[in-house]
Structure 1
Amino acid sequence: MNQPTRQTQPKRRTHPDGPVAVIGAGPFGLSTAAHLRAGGIPVRVFGEPMVSWRDHMPAGMLLKSTPAASSIDAPQPGHTLADYCDAVGTPRLVTDEDIIPVETFIGYGDWFQQRLVPELERVRVVSVDRRPAGGFELKLDSGELFSARAVVVATGLSGLAHLPPELAGAAPDGPSPAAAVSHSSQHHDLTRYEGKDVVVVGAGQSALETAVLVAEAGARVRVVSRGTGRVAFGAPPWGQPRLRPESPFGRAWSLWALSYYPHPYRYLPARTRHFLVRRVLGPLGAWWLRERFEDAVEVREVAAVTGAGIREGRPVLTVRTAAGRAAELTADHVIAATGYRVDIAAMDFLGHELRTDLAVSRGTPKLGAGYVSSVPGLYFTGLPAASSYGPVMRFVCGTEFASPRLARHLAAAHGGDV
């Protein structure tokens, strides 16, 4: 059942400059590779399939995204989330009221990979450098060196977890589940905090759902929301306004435009682009989480967290209240659900010269048509592309826009007929 069918076998061509290398095997990497393979472009894909979802999301998590926003784009029909449900005999997830367990989504990604990207290589890319004669040289952790005519970076959230500097004082050796402060991406099993006093910093879905899961594991939990990040929950599907266009994220003209017409986004002023990436679809809990949250979690809204330290082995947060007074919060552990920040400097598998030559805006690559960077042949997709193509690139449904366009641009630039 999991072997590639005849229709998924690509037509192969010989390309003297080597294959295209796709780094990353999450939704964006798999979708891009499937489109390249379908067009007969030789491709090598590296990484563990769905690793961020498998290892960096808590057990019991449910996706905030609706089924309509959770299908990985494929070059041929038959590979949606609903198709996966049919193939494995589980109830179809199709309506906005259907909630997707993370385990189901991981299974879907594995199924997609086995059918459309069967030659996935589960090795790590150690370095990428430009070749004097053109193209790129890649080194794998297996020791292999090989040449690629183009490289697609689709590493997702890997290495991009953001710990605000005001929390760093309680994490002198970096965040860790076994230390005083951790990042929400470092947790799979939250039962380790049973009987503990835990503070979760943040107000988005990651913070609120992590807080609920920690509370349900038997901990006392407080959520600390900062500044304008007030704890709030979205409207249920039946509460959405009916006179506005549908999008994968709800009914609103702005969401519809950002979802289906992100072409002009990269022409907006840099300040506007970065602001919209942060604020559109920003901190908001899923409608189905509200009841579980309100029954289990205490909320402390503050103007700011101003510092953190460790006292007698326990983390202590210094906060400024809405009234402007200083206060302290002590816990057994602090989980920073403080999101991710794209920074080319953190992508240390890219050679120093490559990173130096890349045009960036606030640490993110500036991308042109077809998701190509300022270095010809080097492409970025997924979260690193959000500052050029908008907030939709933070979500799986962004593969529908990104993958075919990237594949067509790469084929036109390097030969092929995607």
Structure 2
Amino acid sequence: MTEILLRELAPQVLGALVRRYGHFDTAEDAVQEALLAAALRWPEEGVPDNPRGWLVTVASRRLTDLLRAEQARRRREDTVARWRVPEPVRSGDDTLVLLFMCCHPSLPPASQIALTLRAVGGLTTQEIARAFLVPVPAMTRRITRAKQRIKESGVPFGLPPAAERGARLRAVLHVLYLIFNEGYASTSGPRLLRDELSAEAIRLARLLHRLVPDDPEVAGLLALMLLTDARRPARTSADGALIPMAEQDRGRWDAALIAEGVALVSAALPRGPTGPYQLQAAIAAVHDEAPSAAETDWPQIVALYEVLLRISDTPVVRLNHAVAVGMASGPRAGLALLDDLADERISGDHRTFAVRAHLLEMAGEREAARESYEEAARRAGSLPQQRYLNARAARLA
């Protein structure tokens, strides 16, 4: 419980410190030390009445110490010494402001996303590297450089003017998308689901939708999250094992989330221009509205993926398109598309081997399917995914 609370409060505390004092990189170090202190003390002493205020107070004092140690000149030393920790702490949530700050135009798009995942989403560098399909050392360097550029830019802490929001909005949406995906299908560790991450992504997407209610892609992303999260109750068994969509009890899907998501994407699509999140939400809606797996409208899903490929031709979209074609036109058609997918960013990913295994199994090539399932299991980082893939392989032995 403490871990979930700290994850929720971390970006709010970081936002509060950056708003008051600036020094993004040093503020993050101070917040991490405050979180560590809370993790050690709260289980024994109890959670304080105002946990956010407690964290801001501790982090502010630590930030003051860090800045004093950092400054060589007496003038800076005296300025820092005059700072007072504000009490009581304002109850506002600066998370959305922090989100836009991390997506400042002075940073390259990839750095915007990586820094926000670290500062706002609370993901580890390893998780972010996996999401970007890049080595961990490269991601570490990227995040470090991004922090330094934020520090040097002198960007004021606050929401950007309306005229500048569009330039940052696409990176912000991508950030929220990656945070949600890590929560819905964890790339590492013993749990398939990390509910705190997906819930935080949905919360931030709702905040963003209230800020820019007329943007169809913001509505599309929120719809995609809701339509996907609606299946969460049926995605795992009582012991945490993964249940594929075709085998899920659709009676356990959240009908209210499905209705909300369908309404959002239905209202967004006619407004245009049509973007990738709206199309992915439309695909999710086709899945969610099918009474059973056998009644899924795969030709419609293929058509939506083909539109998506025209505006967002990524290896993951191509992989999902191959699955849809395999379901609509037969496994050989899907395997032919998979053979053409030679993108090095996805060719070694466990998902590619899992898709190939599934299509080979559908085609009756049991031995080749078993080998692909086993290879997918070896490459998967999540224990539930490894167990599921190994179980599929064992079934074909």
TM bracket (short chain): under 0.3
Alignment TM-score, normalising by the size of structure 2: 0.26
Q: Return the index of the structure with the highest Cα Rg.
A: 2
Which structure: greater helix fraction? 2
TM-score normalised over the length of structure 1? 0.25
